[in-house]
């Protein structure tokens, strides 16, 4: 029977406060709220007794409306924010819509006492209005990045990522990137095995590499070119440690180098070199999580050649080392 195996998530230490509180408001963004509820509110007995608790804090009095013609009443008000270990702002009713002062005060107070504050998509404007992103990096849907930078020049807006972890403040890009961010929180709290189990139940990848550029509107490659790129990408993925100069890839695809680079970018949102690096890092992370293979062997298997090269890219991309990553997310730390 699916999900009958007891996962027994093991946080690095028990969560000091497992209560996740989602903010609800008149004009609620239904999808973004649903992401938070699906990850943190759904009963998961297979995860044991230390799993999250979930509540909804309404910031508008009485009955509220959600997108799609739904009306609802929340569990409570701002008092629930005072009790939360994690507060999620699932979108906002408008990027130029004022944020109520009581909500700002509650979020600031929660963050000051150690609660994590999380935004999905346009919810970043609530965090920005509260001053929680001042001097920090943040992201949001690519359509809103310019407006966020215009309104809050003291925020380092990063437009080409799916989410950003600033330790106690988290922001995600478009609506679906909220899933990536919520799974990241599960991974931080309970480890890779638990995050993977939640992802399987959601039927989504446990981790997506890449950035928002992949999803911004662009011309679709011609069918015959798309048919040539697909097998080529499959070939590279099957032999990720191979050597793939652009001239060789273009020849295999039957295109000029210039056309190949243009079409590859249109199909993936990144250059071939960047795509290979992302795939190799993903392979290395999987091996670190699931095996006790020495880092030197992982570097060779994932296409980095030398362990020093793998360590360099790990520090650059994840601000950590392979050994530290293995200690946090699985495998045998003694091999790092």
Q: DSSP label at 222?
A: P
319 to each of 51, 105, 230, 298, 316, how far by Cα in Å? 28, 32, 32, 19, 6
How far, in whole angstroms, is CA 251 from its chain's centroid?
A: 35
Q: What is d(CA 279, CA 159) in angstroms, rounded to the nearest whole number?
A: 21
Cα(60)–Cα(7) distance, integer angstroms? 38
Sequence-separated (6 or more) residues with CB below 8 Å from residue 336? 288, 295, 321, 322, 323, 324, 326, 327
121 included as an active-site residue: yes
CA–CA gap between residue 39 and residue 31 (Å, rounded):
12
The two structure tokens encoding residue 91: 């979108």
Q: Angle at Cα 226 formed by Cα 222 and Cα 229, nearest 5°?
A: 140
Q: Which two tokens stand for residue 301?
A: 């298997």
Please tell me which residue in 29, 121, 145, 182 is annotated as part of the active site: 121
**Residue 165 · residue 145 · CB < 8 Å:** no
Give the side-chain half-sphere CA count within 13 A for 274: 13
The runs of H, that is alpha helices, within the chain are 30-40, 101-112, 124-129, 145-151, 177-190, 192-202, 223-238, 246-253, 257-268, 272-290, 295-301, 307-318, 322-329
Among residues 116, 35, 16, 22, which one has the least CA distance to residue 78? 22
Catalytic residue positions? Answer: 121
């Amino acid at each position: 029977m699916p999900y009958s195996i007891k996962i027994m998530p093991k946080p690095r230490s028990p969560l000091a406060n497992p209560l996740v509180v989602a903010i609800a408001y008149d004009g609620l963004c239904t999808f973004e709220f649903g992401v938070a509820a699906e990850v943190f509110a759904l009963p998961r007995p297979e995860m044991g007794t230390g799993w999250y608790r979930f509540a909804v804090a309404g910031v508008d009095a009485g009955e509220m409306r959600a997108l799609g013609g739904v009306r609802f009443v929340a569990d409570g008000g701002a008092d629930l924010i005072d009790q939360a270990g994690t507060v999620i702002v699932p979108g906002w009713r408008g990027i130029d819509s004022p944020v109520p002062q009581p909500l700002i005060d509650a979020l600031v107070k929660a963050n000051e006492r150690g609660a994590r504050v999380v935004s999905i998509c346009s919810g970043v404007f609530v965090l920005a209005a509260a001053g929680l992103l001042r001097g920090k990096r943040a992201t949001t849907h690519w359509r809103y990045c310019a407006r966020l930078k215009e309104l809050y020049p003291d925020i380092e807006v990063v437009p080409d990522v799916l989410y950003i972890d600033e330790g106690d403040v988290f922001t995600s890009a478009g609506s679906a990137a909220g899933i990536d961010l919520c799974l990241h929180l599960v991974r931080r709290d309970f480890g890779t095995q638990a995050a993977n189990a939640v992802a399987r139940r959601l039927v989504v990848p446990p981790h997506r590499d890449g950035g928002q550029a992949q999803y911004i509107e662009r011309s679709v490659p011609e069918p015959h070119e798309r048919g040539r790129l697909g097998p080529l990408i499959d070939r590279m993925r099957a032999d990720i440690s191979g050597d793939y100069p652009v001239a060789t890839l273009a020849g295999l695809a039957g295109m000029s180098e210039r056309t190949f680079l243009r079409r590859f970018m249109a199909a993936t949102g990144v250059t071939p070199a960047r795509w290979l690096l992302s795939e190799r890092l993903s392979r290395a992370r999987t091996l670190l999580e699931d095996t006790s293979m020495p880092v030197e062997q992982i570097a060779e298997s994932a296409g980095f050649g030398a362990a020093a090269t793998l360590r360099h890219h790990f520090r650059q991309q994840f601000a950590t080392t392979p050994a530290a990553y293995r200690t946090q997310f699985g495998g045998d730390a003694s091999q790092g």
